[in-house]
Amino acid sequence: MNISCVQTKICFRAPALDRHSIKAVVLVLLLGGLTLGCNRANPADDAPVRFVWTGAVDAESAHIVAGLNKTAREVRLHYSVEKTMTDSTTMTRMRSDRPGNQRVAQFQLTDLLPNTRYFYLVSLDGRLDSSSIGTFKTFPPEGPASFSVAFGSCAATGSDHPVFSTIRRLQPLFFLHLGDMHYENIGVNDVNEYRRAWDQVLASNTQSLLYRSHPIAYIWDDHDFGPNNSDRTAAGRQAARLTYQEYVPHYPLPAGTGDVPIYQAFSAGRVRFILSDLRSARDPYERPDSPQKTLMGARQKQWFFDELLESSGRYPLIVWVSTLPWIGDYDSGTDGWPEYQFERREIAEFIDRHQIRGLCMLSGDAHMLAIDDGTNTQYAAEGGRGFPLMHAAALDRIGTRKGGPYSHGTYRGGGQFGLMTIKDNGGELIDVHWSGRTDDNEELLRYSFSVKAP
C-alpha cells in the first residue's frame, strides 16, 4: 500500500530524525540567528531548500509549499508552536507522492489551533535545512474578530523593494496579492517558464521574507498569467494554471484541479473574501462589447453569484477581489470592466436585485492608490446602491492611472500598498478602515466605513 502522507508527533527520541541536526537547529534558534523578525536573507543558493511559503490558511489548517534545490527520496516538514521546535509534529512526503516536479513539495497541515503562531522547518532525507524556517499564524475561529490585511499588486520580477519589508513589519493576518507578481509576460505553453518566473520571485530577499512569515492569498493578473492584457486565448494558459497549482499555496479551487481557472474564496472572522480569476476564462478585451462578451466566463460567473447569495446575510462584510478596474466609461481604453460593460451591468443588477449587503471591492492592475466611497461604482440600469472600492498598487512599478472618477482621489506611483483594518468586537457594527500607504509607511489615502452585522 502506498501511503502518501504520514503525520507523526515527534520529539528528540524519534529514530527517523537526525538527533544531532535537530539539536543544532534548536541551538541556533535559541541564539536568535533564525528569528524571522530580523532581516535575514533568503536561503543561500546551495541550501537544500530554495523557498517556503504558506497559504490557504484558516482557523485550523494551512498549505505549505517548499521549493527544493535537489531531489530527495523523502522530504519532511516539521512544525511546532515552539520557535525552538522542541516539541514538533512531522509530516512526510515520499518521492512517489510528488508526481511531476520533484523539486517542489506540498504539505497540507490540519487540526491546527486557531489564532496560534506556528513555526516550521524542512528536512531532506533526514537532514534538516536550518535556513528553511518559516512561520505563520492561523486565523481566528469563525465569528467576531479584529485583524488587518495588507494588499497590493504589480512588482517587477524578483523585486527586492523595501515595500515588502514595510508590509512585513505591520504584521497583517495575511498578505493579499492582487496580481502581477512578476512581469515575465510568458507567451509559450511551457511549465518550466512559469516555474522559472516564480522561482525568481521567491528568490528575492524582501518578498520571500514576507511570504515566509505571513500567509498569502494570491490571484494573478495579466503579466503573471501571460502577456500584457492576456486572456483565455493566451498560449501559456494551461501551463500557467498547472504551475500555479504546483507552486502557489492556494485555497481549494471550486473549478477543480488541472487545466481550470483559479478563482477561490475563503473567510476570516466574519469577512468573506471572493477572489476572481479575470484572465484565464475571459474573452479578448479588443473584441466588440456585447451581452455575450465575458471577463469571468459562464461557470465562474455562476459560482460568483452563488457565493454572493450564500455570503450575503451570513458574512457582514464581503470583499470581492476583482483585480481589474471597475469604474470607467466604455471605450476609454481601460483594460477592465469598462470594456465589458454588459457583464458589469449584469453583475450590478444582480447585486441590486438580490440586495447583497456589505459588499466592497479590492482591486489592483492600475499602478495607483485610489478609493471610491461608492459614489461611482453603481452601474445598474435602474440605479441602485454602489459599494466602496479601493485600488492598491504598484508595489514596485512606475505609476499609472486607470478608470475613474474616484471620490477620494488617486496617488500614482510605486512603493505603494493598501492596509485594511477590521474592528469587530461582536457588536452590531463592524468598522472597516482602508489606508493607502507608501514604503515609508506614510498614509496617502484613507477611508472608513461600517457594515451592519446581520
* Residues making contact with Fe ion (CB under 5 A): 154, 180
Task: Give how far Cα 344 sits from Cα of 28, 192, 294, Å.
Answer: 55, 36, 9
Nearer to Fe ion, 43 or 364 (CB): 364
Could you tell me the smallest distance in angstroms from the CB atom of residue 393 to Fe ion? Answer: 6
Joined grid coordinates for residue 111: 487540526
Is 58 or 184 the residue whose CB approaches Fe ion more closely?
184
- Nearest-CB residue for Fe ion: 154
Least distance between Fe ion and beta carbon 301 (Å): 24
Per 3-state DSSP, the chain is made up of helix, strand and coil in percentages (nearest 5) of 20, 30, 50
* Shortest distance in whole angstroms from residue 428 CB to Fe ion: 39
**315 within 8 A of 143, measured Cβ to Cβ:** no
- DSSP states along 134-182: EEEEPPPPSSS--EEEEEEEEE-TT---THHHHHHHT--SEEEE-S-S-
CB of 379 to Fe ion, least distance (A): 24
Least distance to Fe ion from the beta carbon of 160, Å?
18
Q: CA-CA distances (angstroms) from residue 400 to 40, 328, 361, 370, 422?
A: 33, 15, 20, 11, 29
Task: Please state whether the peptide bond connecting residue 325 to the residue before it is cis, i.e. omega within 30 degrees of 0.
Answer: no
Q: How far is the CB of 278 from Fe ion (least distance, A)?
A: 13
**C-alpha cell at position 333:** 481604453
Query: Residue 160 or residue 180: which is nearer to Fe ion going by CB?
Result: 180
Considering beta carbons, is residue 61 or 332 the nearer one to Fe ion? 332
Environment class of residue 141 by beta-carbon count within 10 Å: exposed (0-12), middle (13-18) or buried (19+)? middle
State which residue, 180 or 246, has the beta carbon closest to Fe ion.
180
Backbone CA torsion sign across 394, 398, 402, 407: positive
Question: Which is closer to Fe ion, CB of 339 or CB of 352?
Answer: 339
